[in-house]
Chain A
Amino acid sequence: MVPYLLVAVPAGFLLAFFVAPNMILLSASLLESEGMVPTGVLTLGNFTTLLSHRIYVDAIIRTFGIGLAVGALVVLLAYPVAYVLVRTTSRWKNVLLALALSPLLASVIVRTYGWWVLFNRDGAVNEALQALHLTARPLIMLPSTAIIIVGLTHALLPYGVLTLMAALNGVSPNLERAAISLGAGRMRAFAATTLPLTAPGIIGGFLLAFGVAISAYATPAILGGPATQTMATLIYTFMATLLNWSLGSALGVVLLASCLTLLMLTALVSRRRALT
């Protein structure tokens, strides 16, 4: 009895305050709505509206583009860091590790505003460029999709480092040495041993960054603008500005479905890893 009770409390909490509101919200995606109030009429119109307007389709495509770019950048940048952190025998190892993960200590909002301070019209980057006479007038770097990618990559890098460190910890450094002793150069040895053996970590790190990036709100909201809407910012606009709950819900369904597909992919990958 006691174990069931232990599970029942949190399960009840989640049902009441997470599952139920989400079901209500998502069910709105299939209902026509007048203003904020969904009517009782069933329709697929919300989805067709989303997919027939260029501006919404662009936002969906942009979101996936950001996710792919951030996922790839996080893996590319985190891999060397994780590799060094796992393989180093330096007594500063723990300090280096703490430094690599220190961005986690600051809130995403603070870190994102940091990028804004750097890149806005009167920001540090523009002042430096003009002081060095590299540009005559300030460059407009904000808002832009590129800066959103930079901000998200920065925010997610520590997670990538952690994921890849876990993968690299499972690979003996002697494997590369063995390959080298058998005549492979350093890069060849890495490509023949550590790289394929950490593939699940690479895929895992990519999916993690991709999943968080496509559903991120704060970073695209701060570093982006009306021309760089993502699914998350668009949902907010539908809900809070346009007061169209049905469209917001429909877009929420698209986002949720993408994330679930991703989770399933992750599960498949880890199952394949468990089999080998």
Chain B
Amino acid sequence: MPEGRMSEAALELRGLEKRFGAQTAVAAIDLQVQQGEFVTLLGPSGCGKTTTLNMIAGFITPDAGSIRLGGRAVENLPPHRRDLGIVFQDYALFPHRNAAENVAFGLRMRKLAKTEIAARVADALRMVRLDGLDKRRPLQLSGGQRQRVALARALVIRPALLLLDEPLSNLDLKLREEMRSEISTLQRRLGIATVFVTHDQDEALTMSDRIAVMRQGRIEQIGTARDIYERPASVFVATFIGSTNLVRAKPAGPPSEGLVPLATAAGPAILRLDRPLAAGADLLLAIRPERLQLTPTGTAPDGSTAWPVRIEGVTYLGGRLEIALRLADGSPATAHAMNLGAMAWQPGHVADAWFRPDDAWPILDGGASDGAAP
């Protein structure tokens, strides 16, 4: 069934579970990674993302659920026969072997001919721009070079799936940004399905086709960077990624032409929604600070939501200004404004904060909000 195989997901997790003693590390995770797709597991430490990765790799045995690689069930396959390329957080380069020997290791385990090994190692090192450094030991390489050797070593075996376990967290900021784009470029060029584990939202947003936001062993939301950022499914997702203003709200009438009126603690609001809201639902309205704009009272554009606010403080951040506001009900909010030269807003001013119907997103104020609600 060649047709069927083409459509098989590179990785499919179903109901994957792992407990350590009384603690549930991973609770019933479902995840599909398509061929060529870059999926990030994003979450704070202890959210179960690394445990999930280790179960995929075979280093941890799941308590329940299934793992399929390219359509094949692998729960009973030992880790050395899963054909995965893994880059570890500490790179795990063999310190007593030089760069070329490190890269050759997986090929030697596969008992390839010496000439083929040499050719493929040279190709792999060239791919990560390390040709000429093949005789260096890991300790004689810089952090970025070690990272590249680790990447070459994982990719040279042509794995069906690439697993990256926080590979950038040991690099300094500038190098991290460089490696970020380098890994992305390489991944797209090779078209290799990749699972990337990180706690860094910038890495997740910039590199991923899709992001799975994890919390307490569960996937809280999975979607594109834009989905996750602009349409967060829970308060946790809204606050873990970027910063956001959360305002209590309730539906205030039936929708008309896709626009839904809301009553909020800061004043009435209008949203554009493609789904109806249950009447009387308790909502938290999430508005990103950069979508909340300030204008003199009474000058907000027609059709937008305008709330009266008092300006509490202005923080200068170079390219932009962070403006601390107080809403009508006395709760705090934040707006970001481009630094366009004129310092129009001063503490004590009264103004209107406005946003368009597409610029806010309602989150059901339910069980998912413990600990993260304002």
Which of the residues A174, A181, A193 comes within 8 Å of B80, measured between beta carbons? A181
A175→B88 CA distance, assembly (Å): 9
A177→B59 CA distance, assembly (Å): 8
- Once the chains bind, are A174 and B96 in contact (CB under 8 Å)? no
A49 at interface (Cβ–Cβ under 8 A)? no
- Once the chains bind, are B96 and A182 in contact (CB under 8 Å)? no
Which of the residues B80, B90, B93, B154 comes within 8 Å of A180, measured between beta carbons? B80
B191 at interface (Cβ–Cβ under 8 A)? no
User: Which residue of the partner chain A has the closest CB to B79?
Assistant: A180
- Once the chains bind, are A177 and B88 in contact (CB under 8 Å)? yes
0 or 1 for each of A156-183: is its CB under 8 Å from B? (1 = yes): 0000000000000000101101111111
- Once the chains bind, are A192 and B94 in contact (CB under 8 Å)? yes
For B105, what are the chain A residues with a Cβ–Cβ distance below 8 Å?
A: 179, 182, 184, 192
- Once the chains bind, are A181 and B57 in contact (CB under 8 Å)? yes
- We find that the number of chain B residues with CB closer than 8 angstroms to chain A is 26
- Once the chains bind, are A172 and B80 in contact (CB under 8 Å)? no
- Once the chains bind, are A183 and B106 in contact (CB under 8 Å)? yes
A183→B110 CA distance, assembly (Å): 7
A259 at interface (Cβ–Cβ under 8 A)? no
Q: Knowing A182-B105, A183-B80, A183-B110 touch, does A177 contact B96 (C-beta < 8 A)?
A: no
Rounded to whole Å, the gap between the CB of B160 and the closest CB of chain A is 13
B157 at interface (Cβ–Cβ under 8 A)? yes
A183→B82 CA distance, assembly (Å): 8
A252→B247 CA distance, assembly (Å): 87
Rounded to whole Å, the gap between the CB of B337 and the closest CB of chain A is 46
For B88, what are the chain A residues with a Cβ–Cβ distance below 8 Å?
A: 174, 177-178
A225 at interface (Cβ–Cβ under 8 A)? no
A196 at interface (Cβ–Cβ under 8 A)? yes
Rounded to whole Å, the gap between the CB of A179 and the closest CB of chain B is 7
- Once the chains bind, are A183 and B86 in contact (CB under 8 Å)? no
A177→B79 CA distance, assembly (Å): 9
User: Which residue of the partner chain B has the closest CB to A177?
Assistant: B59
A276 at interface (Cβ–Cβ under 8 A)? yes
- Once the chains bind, are A177 and B86 in contact (CB under 8 Å)? yes
- Once the chains bind, are A182 and B92 in contact (CB under 8 Å)? no
A185 at interface (Cβ–Cβ under 8 A)? yes
A192→B110 CA distance, assembly (Å): 15
- Once the chains bind, are A183 and B157 in contact (CB under 8 Å)? yes
- Once the chains bind, are A276 and B96 in contact (CB under 8 Å)? yes
For A177, what are the chain B residues with a Cβ–Cβ distance below 8 Å?
A: 57, 59, 79, 86, 88, 92
User: Which residue of the partner chain A has the closest CB to B105?
Assistant: A182
A189→B84 CA distance, assembly (Å): 16
User: Which residue of the partner chain B has the closest CB to A189?
Assistant: B80
B336 at interface (Cβ–Cβ under 8 A)? no
A184→B57 CA distance, assembly (Å): 14
User: Which residue of the partner chain A has the closest CB to B87?
Assistant: A178
Number of CB contacts from chain A to chain B under 8 A: 61
B119 at interface (Cβ–Cβ under 8 A)? no
0 or 1 for each of B91-127: is its CB under 8 Å from A? (1 = yes): 0111110000000011001100000000000000000
For A183, what are the chain B residues with a Cβ–Cβ distance below 8 Å?
A: 80-81, 83, 106, 109-110, 157
For B109, what are the chain A residues with a Cβ–Cβ distance below 8 Å?
A: 182-184, 188
For B95, what are the chain A residues with a Cβ–Cβ distance below 8 Å?
A: 197
- Once the chains bind, are A184 and B80 in contact (CB under 8 Å)? yes
A175→B84 CA distance, assembly (Å): 15
- Once the chains bind, are A178 and B96 in contact (CB under 8 Å)? no
B153 at interface (Cβ–Cβ under 8 A)? yes
User: Which residue of the partner chain A has the closest CB to B163?
Assistant: A181
Which of the residues A182, A192, A276 comes within 8 Å of B153, measured between beta carbons? A182
For chain A, residues 218 to 258, give those with C-beta under 8 angstroms from any C-beta of chain B.
none
Rounded to whole Å, the gap between the CB of B53 and the closest CB of chain A is 11
- Once the chains bind, are A182 and B106 in contact (CB under 8 Å)? yes
A186→B79 CA distance, assembly (Å): 9
Rounded to whole Å, the gap between the CB of B100 and the closest CB of chain A is 14
For B62, what are the chain A residues with a Cβ–Cβ distance below 8 Å?
A: none
For chain B, residues 59 to 88, give those with C-beta under 8 angstroms from any C-beta of chain A.
59, 78-86, 88
Rounded to whole Å, the gap between the CB of A36 and the closest CB of chain B is 56
For A197, what are the chain B residues with a Cβ–Cβ distance below 8 Å?
A: 95-96
A184→B85 CA distance, assembly (Å): 13
A197→B89 CA distance, assembly (Å): 20
A276→B137 CA distance, assembly (Å): 10
A65→B154 CA distance, assembly (Å): 47
- Once the chains bind, are A181 and B86 in contact (CB under 8 Å)? yes
Rounded to whole Å, the gap between the CB of A178 and the closest CB of chain B is 4
- Once the chains bind, are B90 and A174 in contact (CB under 8 Å)? yes
Which of the residues A172, A186, A193, A276 comes within 8 Å of B90, measured between beta carbons? A172
- Once the chains bind, are A196 and B90 in contact (CB under 8 Å)? no
For B106, what are the chain A residues with a Cβ–Cβ distance below 8 Å?
A: 182-183
A263→B31 CA distance, assembly (Å): 58
- Once the chains bind, are B157 and A178 in contact (CB under 8 Å)? no
Q: Knowing A174-B90, A177-B59 touch, does A196 contact B80 (C-beta < 8 A)?
A: no
User: Which residue of the partner chain B has the closest CB to A178?
Assistant: B92
In the assembled complex, 20 residue pairs joining A and B whose CB atoms fall closer than 8 Å, in A order, are A172-B90, A172-B92, A174-B88, A177-B59, A178-B86, A178-B88, A178-B94, A178-B153, A179-B94, A179-B105, A181-B82, A181-B84, A181-B86, A181-B154, A182-B157, A183-B106, A183-B109, A188-B109, A192-B94, A192-B105
By Cβ-Cβ distance, the 4 closest A-B pairs, closest first, are A182-B106, A183-B109, A174-B92, A178-B92
Q: A177-B86, A197-B96 are in contact. List 19 more A-B contacts (CB 8 A).
A: A174-B88, A174-B90, A175-B92, A177-B79, A178-B88, A178-B94, A179-B105, A180-B79, A181-B82, A182-B106, A183-B80, A184-B105, A185-B78, A186-B80, A189-B80, A192-B94, A196-B96, A197-B95, A276-B96
